[in-house]
Structure 1
Amino acid sequence: MSAESIAVIAPPKQTSAAADFIAGNMGGMCQVLVGQPLDTIKVRLQLDSGRFNGAMDCAVQTIKNEGFFALYKGMASPLVGIGAVNALLFAANTECRRLLQSYPGEQLPLYKIAIAGSGAGIVNSVLASPVEMLKIKLQAQFGKGASGSGQRYYSGPIDCAQDLIRQHGVANGLFRGLWATIVREIPAYAGFYVGFEATKRTLVKEGQEASVLQLMTAGAAGGLGYWAACYPLDVVKSKVQNQVEPPRGFYIISTLKTIHAESGFAGLFRGFGPSMVRAIPAAGATFTAYELTMRAIEKNSLI
Structure 2
Amino acid sequence: MDASTINELIAGSVGGAAQVIVGQPLDTIKTRAQVAPKGMFKGPMDILVQTIRKEGFFALYKGMASPLIGIAGVNSLLFAAYGVSRRIISPFPQLSLKEIAAAGAMAGAANAILASPVEMFKVRMQGQYGAATDKRLHVVVSDMWSHWGFRKGIMRGYWVTVAREIPAYAGFYTAFEFTKRKFSKTYGPQIPVWALLTSGATGGIGYWLACYPLDVVKSRVQLRTTPPTGTPVQYIGHEIRMIVSESGVSGLFRGLSPSLLRSIPAAASTFAAFELTREYLREYTGI
**What is the number of equivalent residue pairs in this alignment?**
281
Quote how far apart the aligned CAs of 1:226 are.
Answer: 0.2
Query: Which of 244, 255, 259 is matched with 1:260 structurally?
Result: 244
**Equivalent-residue separation in structure 2 for 1:84 and 1:200 (angstroms):** 26
Which of these residues, 192, 198, 204, is aligned with residue 217 of structure 1?
A: 198
Distance 2:167 2:146 in 1: 33
Over 3 Å counting, the alpha-carbon distance change for 1:302 and 1:51 in structure 2 is: farther
Q: Give the structure 2 partner of residue 5 of structure 1.
A: none
d(CA) in 1 for partners of 2:282 and 2:95?
24
Residue 150 of structure 1 is matched in structure 2 by none
Matched with 2:173 is: 193
Indicate yes or no: 2:69 matched with 1:80. yes
Q: Which amino acid aligns with 1:160?
A: V
> Of 43, 52, 60, which aligns to 1:63?
52
| 5+ long unaligned stretches in structure 1 | 1-13, 147-152
- Following the alignment from structure 1 to structure 2, what is the Cα–Cα distance between the partners of residues 267 and 233? 11
For residues 93-112 of structure 1, give each alpha carbon's deviation from its aligned partner in whole angstroms, at most 9, with x where no partner exists: 122211211xx334111111
Structure 1 range deviating more: 201-210 or 74-83: 201-210
- In the alignment, is residue 110 of structure 1 matched against residue 90 of structure 2? no
Q: CA deviation at 1:30?
A: 0.9
Query: Distance between the aligned counterparts of 1:65 and 1:265, measured in 2?
Result: 31
Find the aligned partners of 1:108 and 1:190 in 2 and give their Cα distance: 13
Instruction: Please report the TM-score for the alignment, with normalisation by the length of structure 2.
Output: 0.94
Note the C-alpha offset of 1:207. 5.5
Gap regions ≥5 residues in structure 2? none
Distance 1:163 1:45 in 2: 25
Change (3 A) 1:253 1:32: same
Structure 1 residues 34 and 247 mapped into 2: Cα distance closer, same or farther (>3 Å)?
A: same
State the match for 2:210 in structure 1: 229
Q: 1:99 aligns with which of 88, 105, 109?
A: 88
> Identity rate of aligned residues, in percent?
53
The answer to whether the Cα contact below 8 Å between 2:179 and 2:202 also exists between their aligned partners in 1 is yes
Q: CA deviation at 1:273?
A: 0.2
Q: State the 1:297 CA deviation.
A: 1.8
TM-score by length of 1: 0.89
Aligned to 2:128: 141
Of the three residues 261, 267, 275, the one matched with 1:283 is 267
Q: Which residue, 16, 41, 47 being the options, matches 2:4?
A: 16
Does structure 1 retain, via aligned residues, the 8 Å contact 2:34–2:220?
yes
- Whether the 8 Å contact between 2:78 and 2:111 is mirrored in structure 1 is yes
Q: What one-letter code is carried by the residue in structure 2 that aligns with 1:226?
A: Y
1:90 aligns with 2:71: no
Is 2:219 the partner of 1:238? yes
The Cα shift of 1:145 comes to 2.2
Q: What is the aligned-residue RMSD (CA, Å)?
A: 1.5
Instruction: After superposing the two structures, state which structure 1 stretch, 77-86 or 105-114, moved more.
Output: 105-114
Show CA shifts across 1:203-241 (max 9, x none). Answer: 113852122111101000100000000000000000000
Name the one with the larger helix percent: 2
Offset of 1:21 from its aligned partner? Answer: 2.8
Other structure's SS at 1:280 match = helix
Query: Which amino acid in structure 1 is aligned with residue 213 of structure 2?
Result: P
